[in-house]
Amino acid sequence: MFDRKIKIAPSILSADFANFGQECEAIEAQGCDWVHVDVMDGHFVPNITFGPAMCAAIRPHIKGVMDVHLMIAPVDPYIEAFAAAGADVISAHLEAGPHIHRSLQAIRGAGAKAGLAINPGTGIEDVDYLLDMVDLICVMTVNPGFGGQKFIHSQIDKVRKLRAMIGDRPIHIEIDGGVTPETAPLVVAAGADVLVAGSAVFKGGSVANPAPYGANIRAIRAAAKAAL
Q: How far apart are CA 116 and CA 136, in angstroms?
A: 6
Q: How far apart are CA 151 and CA 37, in angstroms?
A: 19
205 binds, among Zn ion, ligand DX5, none (CB under 5 to 8 A by kind): none
SS3 readout for 37-89: EEEEECCCCCCECCCHHHHHHHHHHCCCEEEEEEECCCCHHHHHHHHHCCCCE
221 binds, among ligand DX5, Zn ion, none (CB under 5 to 8 A by kind): none
Annotated active-site residue in 33, 41, 88, 176 = 176
Catalytic residue flag (residue 76): no
Q: How far apart are CA 188 and CA 160, in angstroms?
A: 9
Q: Which residue is nearest to Zn ion (CB)?
A: 69
Nearer to Zn ion, 67 or 132 (CB): 67
Site string for Zn ion, 161-200 (x = CB under 5 A): ---------------x------------------------
Q: Which of 38, 67, 174, 193 binds Zn ion (CB under 5 A)?
A: 38
Annotated active-site residue in 33, 38, 67, 135 = 38
**DSSP string spanning 159-204?**
HHHHHHHHTTSS-EEEEESS--TTTHHHHHHHT--EEEESHHHHTT
- The C-alpha torsion from 131 through 114 and 14 to 186, rounded to 10°, is 20
200 binds, among Zn ion, ligand DX5, none (CB under 5 to 8 A by kind): ligand DX5
145 binds, among Zn ion, ligand DX5, none (CB under 5 to 8 A by kind): ligand DX5
Q: Which of 7, 69, 172, 221 binds Zn ion (CB under 5 A)?
A: 69
Nearer to Zn ion, 43 or 211 (CB): 43
Q: Which residue is nearest to ligand DX5 (CB)?
A: 198
- Give, rounded to a whole angstrom, the gap between the first and last alpha carbons of the chain: 21
Nearer to ligand DX5, 107 or 175 (CB): 175
Element (H, E) at 114: strand 113-118
Cβ neighbors of 75 (< 8 A, separation 6 or more) are 92, 93, 96, 97, 103
Q: Which residue ranges make up the site for ligand DX5 (CB under 6 A)?
A: 11, 13-14, 36, 38, 69, 142, 144-145, 147-149, 176-179, 196-200
Catalytic residue flag (residue 38): yes
CB of 196: closest distance to ligand DX5 in angstroms?
5
Q: How far apart are CA 155 and CA 123, in angstroms?
A: 10
Catalytic residues: 38, 176
Q: Which residues bind Zn ion (CB under 5 A)?
A: 38, 69, 176
